[in-house]
Structure formats: C-alpha cells, structure tokens
Amino acid sequence: MMHLNWKRLYACVFSGALMATALTTLVPTTSAWAQAASLPDFADLVERTSPSVVNIRTLEKVSAATDQAPQMDEDMLEFFRRFGIPIPNMPRQAPRNQPQQPRDEEQPRGVGSGFILTADGMIMTNAHVVEGADEVVVTLTDKREFKAKIIGSDKRSDVAVVKIEAAGLPAVKVGDVGRLRVGEWVVAIGSPFGLENTVTAGIVSAKQRDTGDYLPFIQTDVAINPGNSGGPLINMRGEVVGINSQIYSRSGGSMGISFSIPIDEAVRVSEQLRATGKVTRGRIGVQIDQVSKEVAESIGLGKPQGAFVRAVEAGAPADKAGIEAGDIIIKFDGKAVEKSSDLPRMVGNTKPGTKSTLTVFRRGATKEIAVTIAEIEPDKPAVKANSKSAKPPKTSAAQSLGLVVSDLNEAARKELGGKGGVRVESATDAAARAGLREGDIIVALANVTVSNMQEFDSVLAKLDKNKPLSVLFRRGEWSQYTVIRPLK
C-alpha cells in the first residue's frame, strides 16, 4: 500500500500553479495577440508620404547701422595685448566722424511646414506661416533648399500657396473629406519647434467644428505644436485630408485638441490663388445670429435651424432683394442652412454676380427671394439709430406683460427706413426677464407685424395670455427675437 506525502504533493501542486500563472503572464493569450495585431502600423504610410512634406523657414529684413555689430573698445584691446590673449575677430568701431550707413539684415522670422501640391513645385501651407516674410526658404526631405515665391495668401481661410523652381517632385494625394469619419486614425507630419519630419498620430475627434467664419474645421487629438502649422493631416490611405492650422492650448504646447482646415476647402482657395493671386468671395450684406430652440418653437419654425437676420445693410444685395431684419434664412440655392455659420460659407463660395435663391421664414410662412451676389468688401461701420419718441408714452394691454409702449414719431420712422413698430418706454416683470428694455422697437408679435399702437393692441388682444409670446424687436441697428413667458 502506497502512502502519500501530502506536504510534498501540495508543494508540487502549488509550484505548478505558480508556473502556469507565470507562463500566462509572460506569454500573451491569443486574444492579446489579436488585439496587438489590430493596432495600426504607420511605418509604411509615413515612408510613402513624408517625401511630400517640406520645412518652411521665413526671413525678414531689418535695418541696422554698421556700428551696431559687437565691438571692442581700446581698453579691452590693450588688455588682450598685455596678457598675450588672442584678439577675437570682431569688427572695429567706425570712426566717430564717419556717417553711419544703414543696411538691411535678414533675420529668421519663423518656422512652419507645408506639402507639395504639384510636381512642378506648388506648395501649400498656412497664410500665417508666410505672413510678413521678405524671404521664404523651403527645405525638402533630401535636404535641398529653394527660395520660394509667394503665389497668394488668404487670411480668412489661413491658406497660402508658394512656388519653388523644381520638377519631378513627389506630390501628395488629395483625399475626400466627405469619407472622413470621427474616430478614424490620422497622422500629422511637420516641423514642430523646428524638428523636421516629425510624425504624430491620433484620431479624428470631430468634424465641422465651428471656429471661424468660413471654415468648418476638423478636430483631432494629434499632437500639434508650433512649427506644425501648414503641414498635412493624412488618413490611413496616405491621402491628405487637412492642413494643420490651430491648437487649443493653455501652455502654448499640445493639449490634445488641434484643428485642421479641410483639404477640399483649402484646394478651392488654392485654385483661386494660383489663378489670380487672391480669393474672391460673395456677400449679400446681412448680419446674422443663431436661432435658439426656444425661439424656433415659439415662432412655429419647429426646430432650431437657419440664420436669423439681425440687420440688413442699406443698399446691399439683401436689401435690394427685400430681405428684412427678423427673417430666418433656412435655405440657400435649395441647400439647407442648418446653422447660422453655414450661410457665410455658402454665400462666400458663390461667384459674385450669380443670381441665387434664398428661402426665408417670415411671420410663420416661408418665402423664396432672388438675390444677386456681390463681392465681399470691408465691413462698414454701423450707424446707430436714434429711435426715441417725442410723444408721451401710452399705455395698453401690454401692461399685463410688464410693458409700457408708445407710437414712433416721424423722425424715428425715418431713421428706421420708413418701417413702423412701437417703442418700449419701460419694461418690468415678464418683459424685463425676457431681456426687453427702454428704447427697444417691437416690430412683430407672434409672427404678426405691428406698425403702431393700434395694431399692437389688436394683436395682443387676440393672443392667449397664458402662453409664451414671441417678440421680434430692434435694438439700435440689430434685430433679434425673445420670448415673454407669463408668470405661472
């Protein structure tokens, strides 16, 4: 009969368990191998695309007198002679009676990135990279250097095109931004802090991010730092989908939020720069704002959409076409205006002289208005209207809302372009909570235009006092909506 040594058996079992645990720890499981294999490998992608990325150095000329170089006085020269110390090779001071001759010196101004757009030397970068530069030097990955000519630069989109005299260069492949998906891997190549051909990777965090008037940016978490500006954002197919342009940072360095100009927008700008050296954009002459959910519901628009017209520039295309302050532009040439920032892009991308159709929501109904697009120009200063009435204030049913209003005099109507309304003499309670104040001009209640006190009282009398009331009013040169909510 065999006797078992329990202590030895326990030790063997325990040792085996430890060995199994150790093996499990040291040797990855099948799922771990699969997970590692699914991570992207950027090596081949970078090898293919990096030759198309360039470093851009800019220089500026500064005036300096000839005696501004480091100099050595006679006492210091004597010190070197006496102790047998070699005298440094430094320029001597010019004689005092000799006039100082100013000269231009080229000093480094900044470092950025760019990428080759065409094989004959067209290079795309950011406008802020080359802005103010007297000389632009482009360095290729093979260390060749070229002096570049600025073909054109557009501050509004922050896109610039420069040209070097070369041929057979490796041009980038332009991708389709429409296919870009949030969560997709992307790579940036550039010269952060002057470190050429630095590669960083991350994912697309968001698309259509509004940070500018004319560009819906691509947001990523790719590490972008000073010097990356103008470099390409590349998808996993090796296609350029954006130009790295901006970062959000509290320290000046990368914080995981960076923005790139969509390549389709950039190419559209570059084509105009290459053709004419400048970018021409359309305009219709309106000041716009967002439409809030509360306002959209109160006026019957349904959902917050479109661009709310706060003011119309006198004599501008919108004014000539009949667009009014208070209109909400919901379509441009049949394309939906989802948010107010869509409209400047749509109009800006339209060639001046083009006849376009605006679909507007006005007083509860939609209307199509034809407008001829003009060329954009510097904004004109707004002229403030003095809308005070000379007549004593009158009371009406408006008092139940906390309002005291009065008719406009002829001078006030003239300043408003002949249009009517009623002037707010005081606002308390519900009206004050809605943001109305003395001097505001109410032009519509619940989508109904009011030109005077009689119309104001008539409209108000027909409304349910227990329901929210949408009010379109004018303050100075601006029109806006508010909602007066009765006390419960």
Q: Which residues are catalytic?
A: 128, 158, 229
- CA–CA distance, 276 with 386 (Å, rounded to integer): 44
- CA–CA distance, 141 with 155 (Å, rounded to integer): 28
Which one-letter amino acid corresponds to residue 258?
Answer: S
User: If we measure between CA atoms, which residue out of 236, 225, 278 comes closest to residue 49?
Assistant: 236
Phi, psi (degrees; rounded to nearest 5) at 425: -90, -30
Three-class DSSP category at 213: coil
User: If we measure between CA atoms, which residue out of 311, 481, 471, 304 comes closest to residue 382?
Assistant: 311
* Beta-carbon count within 10 A of 15 CB: 10
Q: 228: annotated binding-site residue?
A: yes
User: If we measure between CA atoms, which residue out of 290, 465, 450, 410 comes closest to residue 473?
Assistant: 450
> Do the bridges between strand 328-332 and strand 335-336 make them parallel or antiparallel, or are there none, so unpaired?
antiparallel
Query: String of b and e for 302-318 (b: at least 16 CB within 10 Å)?
Result: eebbbbbbbbbbeebbb
258 DSSP β-pair partners: 220, 247
Q: 229: annotated binding-site residue?
A: yes
Which one-letter amino acid corresponds to residue 294?
Answer: E
Phi-psi region of 99 (alpha: psi -120 to 50; beta: other; left: phi over 0): beta
- CA–CA distance, 49 with 239 (Å, rounded to integer): 8
> Do the bridges between strand 239-247 and strand 173-174 make them parallel or antiparallel, or are there none, so unpaired?
parallel
Chain position carrying tokens 């896109």: 159
Q: 349: annotated binding-site residue?
A: no
- CA–CA distance, 398 with 486 (Å, rounded to integer): 12
8 A C-beta contact, residue 345 and residue 253: no
- CA–CA distance, 22 with 81 (Å, rounded to integer): 75
8 A C-beta contact, residue 92 and residue 74: no
- CA–CA distance, 371 with 289 (Å, rounded to integer): 20
- CA–CA distance, 291 with 339 (Å, rounded to integer): 8
User: If we measure between CA atoms, which residue out of 188, 256, 261 comes closest to residue 228?
Assistant: 188
- CA–CA distance, 124 with 118 (Å, rounded to integer): 9
- CA–CA distance, 115 with 125 (Å, rounded to integer): 7
Three-class DSSP category at 407: strand
- CA–CA distance, 60 with 127 (Å, rounded to integer): 16
Binding positions: 128, 158, 227-229
Known binding-site residues for substrate equal 128, 158, 227-229
